Amino acid sequence: MDRRFRVELPAHPKEAQQNISLHIPAAHHRLQLIPRLPPFEQQGRAYRVFVTINGQMVGRATPLPIPDDPLPRDAMVFEIGLGLTTNIIAVTVVASLPKGQKLPNGADCEVERMTIYAQLMRGY
């Protein structure tokens, strides 16, 4: 692809849920979603990442090589195909708390979710 469409959406520093709307050029109907996570393994925390588009689970994909933009060796990559309607992409991360810690509500894990409403623009 000659021209890349790249958007970085950082996690909110305090909120566990975010909703974001994007308008995406029609030429970019196939996307690579690459979540960047904190070093859970170094903290001794187990975690899971779930990605859905329009309610359907998306499995991990092989990263496409992009010149001048190397991915970390262990990067998670999800390939997503967008339809002409509004596409609802949800990324959910569930991470256990360090051993012996609990949240005020008694839970022993944290859940963070980012929902992206991606509207594929029509090419005229």
How far apart are alpha carbons 92 and 63 in whole angstroms?
20
Q: For 7-18, what is the mean pLDDT?
A: 89
User: Any idea which residue has 């187990």 for tokens?
Assistant: 46
Query: How does residue 124 score in pLDDT terms, banded at 50, 70 and 90?
Result: low
**What pLDDT does 1 receive?**
45
CB 58 within 8 A of CB 79: yes
**What pLDDT does 41 receive?**
83
Compute how many other C-beta atoms are within 10 angstroms of the C-beta atom of residue 104: 5
Domains observed in the chain:
17-120 (2.60.40)
Q: For 5-23, what is the mean pLDDT?
A: 89
Task: Say whether pLDDT at 92 is over 70.
Answer: yes
**What pLDDT does 63 receive?**
76
Task: Say whether pLDDT at 14 is over 70.
Answer: yes
Compute how many other C-beta atoms are within 10 angstroms of the C-beta atom of residue 31: 21
